[in-house]
């Protein structure tokens, strides 16, 4: 089993030179605001085409909260975008297991496609209303436990955080 480096950086996930970047998508998979909008804007129309194809097929009714699916990455430096749907606090989705599932399901998909490095944003810490500290706790705990329990080839997990406070929340969690 590969030992995994887990780190946090402050920055823009769209510019990361990693194998896969995770998108905090919504269930419809057709783009939106926040990091989803930034990823679609940077990836270009090829990503939207692939997302439309997913909606035309297996994910006709949308991707459920806590699940993950991979597409290509269009014009991005990454090879894959892994779309996951975080729980939306404003819709009463407050179960930490749903958020943990976003991270573990994304890692399982990364492993499936053969990614060796993966970047995550702070899923649900934006429009979906979760506290950044809580997201950091769940994200770090889930990634640590998945990477030590599962058999995989993922060498690097990088949290890419937008803004100082979110970055510091992850840094603090990683230091514990």
- 140-149 own/partner pairs: CB under 8 Å, 24+ apart: 140/6, 140/170, 140/173, 140/174, 141/100, 142/100, 142/103, 142/104, 143/4, 143/6, 143/103, 143/107, 144/6, 146/103, 146/104, 146/107, 146/108, 147/4, 147/6, 147/107
Asked if 24 interacts with ligand ADP (CB under 6 A), we say yes
Quick check: 78 binds ligand ADP (CB under 6 A)? no
Across the strands, what pairs with 6? 157
CB-side exposure of 158: number of CA atoms within 13 Å?
Answer: 21
Please indicate whether residue 36 is annotated as part of the active site.
yes
Region from 7-15, 49-57, 69-77, 109-117 binding ligand ADP, contact rule CB under 6 A: 7-15
Where in 32-61 is the site for ligand ADP (CB under 6 A)?
34-36, 38
- How many residues of this chain bind ligand ADP (CB under 6 A)? 21
98 binds ligand ADP (CB under 6 A): no
Task: Answer yes or no whether residue 124 interacts with ligand ADP by CB under 6 A.
Answer: yes
**In angstroms, what is the minimal distance from the CB of 13 to ligand ADP?**
4
Kindly tell me the sign of the dihedral angle through the C-alpha atoms of 101, 83, 80, 171: negative
Query: Does residue number 170 form part of the binding site for ligand ADP (CB under 6 A)?
Result: no
Q: Is 73 in the site for ligand ADP (CB under 6 A)?
A: no
**Is residue 12 close enough to count as binding ligand ADP by CB under 6 A?**
yes
Positions marked active-site? 36
What does the binding site for ligand ADP look like in residue numbers (CB under 6 A)?
A: 12-14, 24, 34-36, 38, 86, 121-128, 160, 162-163, 166
């Amino acid at each position: 089993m590969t030992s995994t480096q887990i780190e946090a950086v402050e920055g823009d996930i769209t510019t990361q030179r990693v194998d896969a970047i995770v998108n905090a998508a919504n269930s419809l998979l057709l783009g939106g605001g926040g990091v989803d909008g930034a990823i679609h804007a940077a990836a270009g129309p090829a990503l939207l085409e692939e997302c439309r194809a997913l909606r035309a097929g297996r994910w006709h009714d949308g991707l459920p909260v806590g699940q993950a699916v991979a597409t290509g990455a269009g014009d991005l430096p990454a090879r894959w975008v892994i779309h996951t749907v975080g729980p939306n606090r404003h819709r009463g989705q407050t179960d930490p297991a749903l958020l943990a599932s976003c991270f573990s399901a994304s890692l399982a998909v990364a492993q499936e496609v053969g990614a060796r490095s993966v970047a995550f944003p702070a899923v649900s810490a934006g429009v979906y209303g979760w506290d950044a500290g809580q997201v950091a706790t769940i994200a770090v705990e889930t990634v640590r436990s998945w990477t030590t329990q599962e058999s995989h080839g993922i060498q690097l997990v990088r949290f890419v955080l937008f803004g100082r406070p979110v970055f510091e929340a992850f840094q603090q969690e990683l230091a514990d």
